[in-house]
Amino acid sequence: MSKFGWSLPPGCSFNDLPGNQPVGPCGCCGRDVESDSALYGCICDECSECGEVGNPQCYEHHGLRYSLRQIVSRDNRRELMRLEVLAEQRYWERFDNSDGL
């Protein structure tokens, strides 16, 4: 065992262990699924048929309807993600266009 209490195989990290994978935003409203905050957490309703929250399949197959708040929140999240990608592309273009600096 290592001094940290365990040793992972080469190429593995703590995030590769089951249950430690990062969770992305909700597929319906775009908010943080694991947040306990009412301000930043998922705002989706519970499905009356299966009991899941934030599952896009429930909106297609179980008759749930998106609220205006969900649609606006999801669209805002998509725009933020688009802007983050654009900013990262611009950052890396600086290095591609540099003259050996």
Look at residue 13 and tell me if it is in a domain. Answer: no
**Count of domains for the chain:** 1
- pLDDT at site 6: 66
Q: Indicate if the pLDDT at residue 27 is higher than 70.
A: yes
pLDDT digits (tens, 9 = 90+) for 68-97: 999 999 999 999 999 999 999 999 998 887
Burial of 30 (0-12, 13-18, 19+ CB in 10 A): buried
Look at residue 58 and tell me if it is in a domain. Answer: yes
Question: Domain range holding 63?
Answer: 23-95
Q: Which of 53, 49, 44, 78 is nearest to 63 (CA)?
A: 49
